[in-house]
Chain A
């Protein structure tokens, strides 16, 4: 192949994470940046998130998805950052050679000084849930339906049942209704909804759409096109309770049953993944186990607020820039391991090298259940360092704690930082 390009930083994905990382890297002195985006425009998933609620933290305004994306796209254009659209990355080698493909250039390679993984995530399909029944037309993942409605202008169906009450499912309940469909019910496996209260009110209550918690789809009818589904109540283990079945006739089933970080490229190059997040294990610089390969956004762990994605991506961009300028010392001090205690499912990052961290480090985490009136406590080698009172923490709401370099410097032999939820 005679197509050799090179760039200081190659960013895989031009969605909110990739855009913010690119802007930060440029602002931190790196010129040769290349964003590789598979869709026909920059903006990633935000392009199809036409609802508002984005940007309250970042811009102190409530914007729609495309408007939020536009703020960053503008910066990318102003800063003259190079990007390629309709370009699919096929492979990244361990020594950071990115192989990509598009119609105009065919297959080409880019030698990267550093790589920022910002591929986002995909939706869990029906098959992964083992929902029995027929396999007719009319079953969509909520995101695919969202793309069809918002980007192409087509209705996937007229009588809708939605499985999954995370924000995507709730948003689509309203979206379908406002385009003329009848949404009959939203079913949720868990005894609580994973979505924002605001969406429960403005997407379901406003339109009289019932929410059935602790319910799931147990059968699908219809050979060619969906004719209906059967909902059943589930027990505390998530198993359907016999005798609680209820049939709903419908021609459309939207599935909003989980997002999975898209790490095929990462795994292919030997990046170590965390089985809890399905995203790369990263250190305080958001760097993976492969030097010079960073990760941010939904590919690292699935986010709820795009503002946090932008913050995280900016950190990754800044750190990648520092790496390229060889400013980060190879660590001489051993790293500190972040561990999870009661109630906490994972942290990002998982290790911290105090020498390499900035003045402040944001550690993000998710809890495994709903806890009310509790403390988020931080322990350094078993000694409690801080605790913050929280009225409520929930799995659907990513949390953060702030660590300072000063704090860590006070504990030179620190081995473990434990984050846990404690009863107030």
Chain B
């Protein structure tokens, strides 16, 4: 049995959570002041995910860069691969919020979309 510590990020309290794990299974969560802490600990230790935000070059637009994000969160371990996939992407203007820049980023099944309008 293993014990892992992590800080809950849901509110300014920042409860220090202590999670007992049996391999990859969560046995218990302690230290949380509310339900959200429990939920967070379980997710973060079994399947941590992140939203990834980045920027991509635009050609012929009023701006030279456009901000983008993954439409949903993706596995934490795939973040760098996801960002790398954007390296050589160049978008022609115009770009609208929600435009799909890249589908199935890093094989996660999640699209990367534009978060800014560029004329």
- Quick check: A197 and B116 within 8 Å, CB to CB? no
* A259 interface contact, C-beta 8 A: no
Tell whether, in the assembled complex, residue A70 and residue B116 are in contact, meaning their CB atoms are under 8 Å apart: yes
CB pair B53–A197 under 8 Å, yes or no, is: no
Q: Are B33 and A67 in contact (CB under 8 A)?
A: no
CA distance A153 to B14 in the complex (A): 34
Query: Whole-angstrom distance between the alpha carbons of A200 and B12 in the complex?
Result: 12
Q: Tell me whether A50 and B54 are in contact (CB under 8 A).
A: yes
Report the interface size class on chain B: 20 to 34
Q: Which of B26-66 contact A (CB under 8 A)?
A: 33, 50-55, 57, 62-65
Q: What is the CA–CA distance of A152 and B64 in the complex, to the nearest angstrom?
A: 6
Closest Cβ–Cβ distance, residue A71 to chain B (whole Å): 10
Contact B54 A178, beta carbon cutoff 8 Å: yes
Quick one: which of B7, B67, B117 contacts A150, CB cutoff 8 A?
Answer: B67
**Contact B67–A50 (Cβ < 8 Å):** yes
* Nearest A residue (CB) for B51: A52
Q: How large is the interface on A (under 10, 10 to 19, 20 to 34, 35 or more residues)?
A: 20 to 34
Which of B62, B64, B117 is the most central at the interface, judged by chain A CB atoms within 10 Å of its CB?
B117
CB-based contact B64/A153 at 8 Å: yes
Across-interface contacts of A153 in B (CB, < 8 A): 55, 57, 64-65
A391 pairs with B13, CB closer than 8 A: yes
Are B9 and A66 in contact, CB atoms less than 8 angstroms apart?
Answer: no
Known: A40-B62, A149-B55. A64 touches B115 (CB 8 A): yes
Whole-angstrom CA separation of A197 from B6 in the bound complex: 11
Interfacial chain A residues near B53, Cβ < 8 Å: 50-52, 64
Chain B minimum-CB-distance residue to A66: B116
Does A151 contact B62, Cβ atoms closer than 8 Å? no
Task: Report A381 CB to chain B, min CB distance, Å.
Answer: 31
Query: Are B8 and A197 within 8 A (Cβ)?
Result: yes
Cβ-defined contact, B9 with A197, below 8 A: yes
B25 within 8 A of A: no
Kindly state whether residue A363 has any CB partner on chain B within 8 Å. no
Bound: A264/B2 CA distance, A:
57
Centre residue among A50, A70, A206 by max chain B CB count within 10 A: A50
> A152 — which chain B residues lie within 8 A by C-beta?
64-65
Question: Do the beta carbons of B14 and A197 come within 8 Å of each other?
Answer: yes
Known contacts A50-B55, A196-B9, A391-B33; decide if A64 and B67 are in contact (CB<8 Å). Answer: yes
Q: Are B117 and A64 interface neighbours, CB within 8 A? A: no
Q: A201 and B9 in contact (CB under 8 A), knowing A50-B115, A64-B67, A153-B64?
A: yes
Q: Is A95 an interface residue (CB 8 A)?
A: no
Give chain B residues whose Cβ lies under 8 Å from the Cβ of A47: 116
B residues touching A (Cβ–Cβ < 8 Å)? 6-9, 12-14, 33, 50-55, 57, 62-65, 67-69, 76, 79-80, 83, 97, 115-117
The 9 closest A-B pairs by CB, nearest first: A50-B67, A66-B116, A198-B9, A197-B14, A64-B115, A197-B9, A153-B65, A67-B115, A178-B83
Between A and B, 8 residue pairs with Cβ closer than 8 Å are: A151-B64, A151-B65, A178-B54, A196-B9, A197-B8, A198-B9, A201-B9, A394-B12
**15 additional A-B residue pairs with CB within 8 Å, beyond A41-B62, A178-B54:** A50-B53, A50-B67, A50-B68, A50-B69, A52-B53, A63-B115, A64-B67, A66-B67, A70-B116, A153-B64, A178-B80, A178-B83, A197-B7, A391-B13, A393-B12
